[in-house]
Structure 1
Amino acid sequence: MKKLLFLLTLTTTFFCFAQDNTDVYVVAIAPAYEGLQLLNLQKVSNNDGYNNQPSFPSNETILFAGNNEGQSDIAEYNLNSKTKKWFNKKTEGGEYSPQKFPTSNDVAAVRLDNDGLQRLYKYDSQTGKSTELIKDLQIAYFAFYNYEKILATVLDSDKMNLVLIDLQSKKTDTLFYNAGRSLQKVPKTNSMSYSLVNEEGNLDLYLLDMNSYENFFVTQLPIGIQDYVWINDTQILVGSGNKLYMYDTLGESEWTRVASLEDYGLKNITRMAISPNGKKLAIVTESK
């Protein structure tokens, strides 16, 4: 496996929903002698424009923010039938970062309205109608811990703060300032992960124990990288160009190359998501 040298710099705004031409792919993953084996690559976005921010409500279904006639809506794609449907009724704005509620089929997503209002909404699985979840909180990104608690990054001028939200009581607690955009629940643990901008302007990755609320430093993300995904409780993936790199918390303290998408003609990997069983990886890349 090859060690990783990153020569990129952070030049993009963390919380900007940039409308680049991007596509969402799903690939099966399996351990290999020198990293990961990628099998059965499948493109799940079939329209031009911004298709991004995937999540897996189940092993056979994927949600993502998809371009729907120039507006970002919640797309739901079935990997078995290879069919897509729009989850939400059209609103005045665009929907981003769709994620299934842990204990229902409803979906939460960030809505950015045309007037700049940005809030977190719940979308009913039966009707597609939406209701605001948290009043007066300008949420940029979020991740569920359970049906009661979410971790979110909240806009604060040109930066973001890390905020713990109780959906039942509607109470909020600002934990840290100057956070990164990627938030994850670590599989099969009581922890969530987040990133903070360090003194050099790069991103440090941390774990937050959701029982004790103690936090632990994990590693620095490679320079220029904002997005990562835990494929299990100890291994983290990031993408750079058309390559995938892994950090193993039980191994050496370095990022190593484990797979390449070069043969598929894909490039500029950004966001990723892992299926509940850990066997499928969603990848966002620049459109061909």
Structure 2
Amino acid sequence: MKFTLVFLFLTSFSFAQPNTELYLMDISENGDSLQITNFKNISNRPGYDNQPSFIDNTKLVYAGTENDNTEIILYYLESDGQHRLNAPTAGGEYSPQSFPSKPLVAAVRLDTTGLQRLYSYEYGIPGYGKWKMLFEELEVAYFAFQDDDRIIASVLSGDKLDLVVGTISKDQALLLTTNTGRSIHRVPSSSSISYTQLNTEGTYDIYIVDIDDTGESFYVCTLPMGIQDHIWLNNSTLLLGSNDKLFMMDLFKGTNWFKVADLSEKNISNITRMAISPDGKHLAIVAMPQEK
């Protein structure tokens, strides 16, 4: 059964975008802390640079500012080079990430007409990637791939987000749950997806769901007050950013968050979104630069 959604979501991106920067670093575990090396700003320009996602251990994509528009930027770790991935559009692209096993990137596009849809983009020819609309009516806000044909996505429902399973080949979406958040991630070495859901106290709980198994959601833990984002370092370890520090939770050791890195000397604040490379050696974070 087709679950039709007609929403407005990303219109706020057309104005008052925060001046965020994207930072990349190498990480390694050192006891109960993370050792940070080779820390650098890889966007380093005015405007909105956000929503990183690794294609593999040598490439990542993010939503970056180019000519006052938000584009899909492809960054090469080994050469420190980067360029616009997609052919120019009249709209802006957000939340880019690669398909699990196809040479394509998916991103949410907001056109100047207000039309918001999820598209796929080729990236074989730098700056000229052709696109294809993936859903005729579904307005995706945030998403993660279950496989090449299915996504778990938060979509806007009135003044809140709801979680759906979208099947690209059928152009269908089925409701999973309501009142969810923006942080959706594949749990490493598993077929489960984690997502966040707003609780009655105004904070976000992390749940996991495996739609190929029972399809039931299981509570994992609660994010600290004011935090919306999380990632997985492995299938039992969570990471989040708060102000200029990184915190970890090892689910084998309990449900307490403990500080693993202090980035205050890097002149950043308000760490939000993060991404980890498949080999676990590179961490990308979004933060606000502090004036020196």
Answer yes or no: same fold by TM over 0.5: yes
- Separation in structure 2 between the aligned mates of residue 60 and residue 129 of structure 1, nearest angstrom: 22
Q: Aligned letter for 1:130?
A: W
Equivalent residue of 1:81, what SS?
Answer: coil
What is the CA-CA distance between 1:230 and the residue it aligns to?
A: 0.4
Q: Aligned letter for 1:103?
A: S
- Separation in structure 2 between the aligned mates of residue 151 and residue 118 of structure 1, nearest angstrom: 17
Q: Provide the identity percentage.
A: 44
Partner of 1:166: 167
Partner of 2:131: 130
What is the 5 A alignment of 1:80-159? 80-126=78-124, 127-159=128-160
- Separation in structure 1 between the aligned mates of residue 241 and residue 67 of structure 2, nearest angstrom: 29
259, 262, 284: which one aligns with 2:261: 259
Partner of 2:30: 32
Equivalent residue of 2:269, what SS?
Answer: coil
231, 239, 242: which one aligns with 1:240: 242
What is the CA-CA distance between 1:172 and the residue it aligns to?
A: 1.0
Q: Aligned letter for 2:212?
A: N
Partner of 1:211: 212
Q: Aligned letter for 2:24?
A: V
- Separation in structure 2 between the aligned mates of residue 254 and residue 93 of structure 1, nearest angstrom: 42
- Separation in structure 2 between the aligned mates of residue 73 and residue 176 of structure 1, nearest angstrom: 31
Partner of 1:8: none
Residues 61-107 of structure 1: CA deviation (Å, up to 9, x unaligned): 11000000110000001111111110001111100011111112211
Contact 2:274/2:285 (CA < 8 Å) preserved in 1? yes
Structure showing greater relative contact order (alpha-carbon pairs closer than 8 Å, 6 or more residues apart) = 1
219, 222, 236: which one aligns with 1:220: 222
Partner of 1:197: 198
Equivalent residue of 1:40, what SS?
Answer: strand
Contact 2:25/2:283 (CA < 8 Å) preserved in 1? yes
- Separation in structure 2 between the aligned mates of residue 115 and residue 200 of structure 1, nearest angstrom: 37
The two structures have a TM-score, normalised by structure 2, of 0.91
- Separation in structure 2 between the aligned mates of residue 76 and residue 52 of structure 1, nearest angstrom: 12
- Name structure 2 gaps, 5 residues minimum: 1-8
The two structures have a TM-score, normalised by structure 1, of 0.92
- Separation in structure 2 between the aligned mates of residue 112 and residue 157 of structure 1, nearest angstrom: 18
Q: Aligned letter for 1:119?
A: R
- Separation in structure 2 between the aligned mates of residue 210 and residue 256 of structure 1, nearest angstrom: 31
Query: How many residues matched?
Result: 275
What is the CA-CA distance between 1:154 and the residue it aligns to?
A: 0.8
Residues 141-162 of structure 1: CA deviation (Å, up to 9, x unaligned): 1111211211001111111110
- Name structure 1 gaps, 5 residues minimum: 1-13
More moved, 19-28 vs 39-48: 39-48
- Separation in structure 1 between the aligned mates of residue 158 and residue 63 of structure 2, nearest angstrom: 25
Q: Aligned letter for 1:222?
A: P
CA RMSD of aligned residues (A): 1.4
Residues 117-169 of structure 1: CA deviation (Å, up to 9, x unaligned): 21101112234121110111111111112112110011111111101011222
Contact 2:267/2:289 (CA < 8 Å) preserved in 1? no
Contact 2:154/2:161 (CA < 8 Å) preserved in 1? yes
Partner of 1:46: 44
What is the 5 A alignment of 1:277-288? 277-288=279-290
- Separation in structure 2 between the aligned mates of residue 176 and residue 210 of structure 1, nearest angstrom: 13
Partner of 1:4: none
- Separation in structure 2 between the aligned mates of residue 91 and residue 157 of structure 1, nearest angstrom: 28
What is the CA-CA distance between 1:46 and the residue it aligns to?
A: 2.9
Q: Aligned letter for 2:136?
A: K
What is the CA-CA distance between 1:35 and the residue it aligns to?
A: 1.5
Residues 40-70 of structure 1: CA deviation (Å, up to 9, x unaligned): 1122113211000000001111100000011
